Amino acid sequence: MNTRRLVRGFWLTGLSALLLVVLACGSASEPTAVDDAQDALVDGAAGDYRHDGPVPDGTDDGTTTTDGLSEAGSQDGAMDLHTDSAGAEELSDGTMVPDHQVTDIADTGNEDDQNQGGDVQSDGCTADNSPEALAARDGFIEVCADPTTVPDAVCGDGSPYKFTYRPAAGQSKGLLLYFRGGGQCSDYISCWGIDGLGGSGRRVSTMSNSEQTGPGVHPLLGKTLGVFYLDEATNPLRQYDQVHIAYCTGDAGMKNEEQVFEKPDAALADAPASIKTYFHGRANIAFALDTVLGLFPAPSRLVVLGSSAGSWASMASVQTILQRWSDVGLPVAYYGEGGIGVGSDNWNQYVLETVGSLNGADGSRLVRFAQFSFISDEVQMAFAPPTYQEASAFQSEMRSLMEGRAAANPANYRYFAIPGTCHTLAQNPGLFQQFTKASGSWKPVQPPVKPNPDLNLGETNLLPWLTDLIENETIPASMGNVAGDWETITTSCLLPGG
């Protein structure tokens, strides 16, 4: 896998306190026992991630990235992707805001002279919700947090937070809450790079609201990919109201604090002397959920999906999501990919308690949990603690975690682990059909091969397995735990972008 695809992951380690899972009543905007519990998780973190080796620049957030595209077209949901030998670049994103969120107040720029890299807090937010902008975003509408009413909802640089949503065409089958990934940071260089402006050394996709507020859009097809690809008949989420919860804080959606980072010796001489950084992930998620609750108050189904860093943020947000959509009869499914938590014992305990507390027993809510990972995921491995950066140790620990969670929660937890070094699939066209790579160009196999046999394990394919999770109100007996050979080390990724 090209080093430019090595996503800047994050691993919450050294937690001094176990996160207590509590369902609480009260207004969604008021502090609750759930908020206090999440504070315990965050405040106990001694180190957000560990990595002994050099880290390549850039970070993967779960979006399939391309350097261009050849012979664009669509036949049975097929599309052609092209990458050259230099690697992958981000797909283009647009900007949109619904009419009721548009303000006429322009950004005022930097209010903190000492903070050239970070603090650009503005007095208001503007966005383009024109027909042209909506078309550029494949119908996704952007919502901007007005600093005058929700001042805490900001990105890492202090700019107002934005997220996007797209109502279903026709009758909606449910609501998808998708948590985007994009790395993690905890100091000057990992958040801002050696230049303090987002250059070399940064381990996050973005700390600004100016990019990645919606799913990646194919530059020639003008279509979102993966679970957001509406032209694919086998996509179990294509008839859902879809919410893309953007990520621009580098904190896995778990913090509500600011830090001022002083320039370290490793930074460039002309880098800012200090940078104020806003770790407001929790406030941003709360704003998004409160807004979405007003838009879609009574979905027939609810699916929570998180990729990479978003897998952690979504798991940490399950209880607050259930607070808002409080109907005990609402079918809820959770699917996290590319964020198992190898090397973080306290996070594993939190996952165990969260899943165990939501099994439908003794009057509790029922959430159907599933986690997916590639067994040799290069991203997770690179950002695991040093002990687990060797493939065999990493894979053995992942096996222990997944099997342990399944054994402790047989009624409402399943896992799917497949050989390969890839990272996430939610925004990858390979989720639905097989691709092949020749001369740097990814092309769909013709005639189309669906479902993608590269996602088969025995007689089980990931897509029907995921569809079973989404469309059933309880986990069916036929939906088992699926894993490849845990001891075989693979060195390739057979999906577009790999």
Task: DSSP for 456-475, please give it.
Answer: EETTEEHHHHHHHHHH-SS-
What is the rounded average pLDDT of the residues 463-470? Answer: 98
DSSP 263-315: PPTTS-TTS-SEEEEEE-HHHHHHHHHHHHHHHSSS-S-EEEEEETHHHHHHH
Query: Does residue 451 have a cis peptide bond before it, meaning omega lies within 30 degrees of 0?
Result: yes
pTM over cut 0.85 = no
Q: What pLDDT is recorded for position 319?
A: 96
What is the rounded average pLDDT of the residues 109-126? Answer: 44
Q: What pLDDT is recorded for position 62?
A: 57
For residue 352, pLDDT over 50 is answered with yes
Q: How far is CA 327 from the centre of its chain?
A: 25
Q: What pLDDT is recorded for position 76?
A: 39
What is the rounded average pLDDT of the residues 57-63? Answer: 51
pLDDT in tens, 277-305: 999 999 999 999 999 999 999 999 999 99
Q: Which pairs count as long-range contacts for 107-116, CB under 8 Å and 24+ apart, including other chains?
A: 107/159, 112/276, 114/272, 114/273, 114/274, 115/260, 115/272, 115/274, 115/275, 115/276, 116/196, 116/197, 116/272, 116/275
How many angstroms separate the Cα of 311 from the Cα of each of 90, 177, 354, 421?
20, 12, 14, 18
Q: How far is CA 494 from the centre of its chain?
A: 21
H or E element at residue 334: strand 332-337
User: What's the full length of the chain, in residues?
Assistant: 498
What is the rounded average pLDDT of the residues 15-19? Answer: 28
DSSP-assigned letter for residue 63 = B
Lowest mean pLDDT segment, chosen from 165-169, 207-211, 302-306, 446-450? 207-211
Mean confidence (pLDDT) of the chain: 80
- Quickly tell me which residue has 């179990």 as its tokens: 236
State how far the Cα of 274 lies from the Cα of 177, in Å rounded to an integer. 36
